Amino acid sequence: MDLRPDARRCYLVSDLHGEVERYQALFSLLRADPPDLLFLAGDLLPQPMPPAFPPAPAGEDFVNRYLLPRFRALRRELDERYPTVLLVLGNDDPRYEEASMLGGAVEHAWHYLHDRRVIAAGRPVYGYNCIPPSPFRRKDWERYDISRYVDPGSVSPEEGELTVPRSARERRNATIASDLERMVGDADVSSALFLFHVPPYKTVLDTTNLHAKKVDGVPLDRHIGSIAVRRLIEERQPYLTLHGHVHEAYSLTGEFVTRIGSTWCLSSAHHGSALAVVDFTLDDPSSARRRVSPEKAVRPDR
């Protein structure tokens, strides 16, 4: 079934990190000027930071107490103009919240796409949450990239904390490359969209200022995207890929659009407290524009 056969105009948003003011800005924009498709590219929820990352108390249930009621209200208000919402989670989103995200999908508030495929606007749309090993301790949505290599300063997926248990075998052997190969198989993805949290490696979309830092005298790679994602793009040439994750990339490069072969790649990651929205059409992603609400203060994290 095609979720939105007539879809043309799209918004891409990511890295909201449970910030209520950003969500208020997003809902205001959706009421005033709704798109056909809304893509949410991960890091959507608050970041609980106790040592073992236990599930949040019921009073802090962001998905069920904040997010889902507001999407329900928006659907009632917009009725037939309600956008089809397609989303993935990101590395800062605790995996214990996945059940609530699936609950929202059952209510048709959104479509949760991790490791899944749907059809929208006549195109296959795939989703994937995970990033390569990072310096951060939470490993719910981290995998080795194409091998068991870990960059200096990063923590392997076999270390760190999980909010939902995984087997030692999975933590040791799972890679982004093998996940994508299994998810896509031998399908023709030339017309497909991919909704990733992580951007492709060595592009303007995954650029950081880490090259100015060293670990044990070793300069860090300024590119923190996924080699597996880049290889999929190079080898399979999907129509369009959508990303978030690297907050500072746009402030460092001035770019949020790039092209790998015939594939257009967009990122809505933003290094600041405001809401950043990438507004584009499926007919011509190259003409995407970036809309940013007024800034308040720059956030140093990503």
Q: Any idea which residue has 């990239």 for tokens?
A: 145
Using only C-alpha atoms, the chain has a radius of gyration, in whole angstroms, of 18
> How far, in Å, CA of 24 to CA of 21, rounded?
5
Q: What values do phi and psi take at 108, rounded to 5? A: 65, 25
Cα dihedral value 208, 130, 228, 239, nearest 10: -90
Mean pLDDT, the chain cut into blocks of 10 residues (302 residues total)? 94 96 96 98 80 46 94 97 98 95 96 98 98 96 97 93 95 97 98 98 95 79 96 98 97 97 97 94 97 61 40
Bridge partners (DSSP) of residue 219 are: 214
Is residue 91 within 8 Å of residue 134, measured between CB atoms? yes
| DSSP reduced 3-state for 86 | strand
Q: Is the pTM of this model over 0.75?
A: yes
Dihedral class, residue 290 (left if φ above 0, else alpha if ψ from -120 to 50, else beta)? beta
- Helix 227-236 / helix 176-184 crossing angle, nearest 10 deg: 30
Which of 9, 121, 28, 24 is CA-nearest to residue 78?
A: 28
> How far, in Å, CA of 62 to CA of 46, rounded?
7
pLDDT at position 216 = 78
pLDDT at position 52 = 40
Q: Domains in the chain, start-ordered, CATH in brackets?
A: 9-292 (3.60.21.10)
pLDDT at position 289 = 97
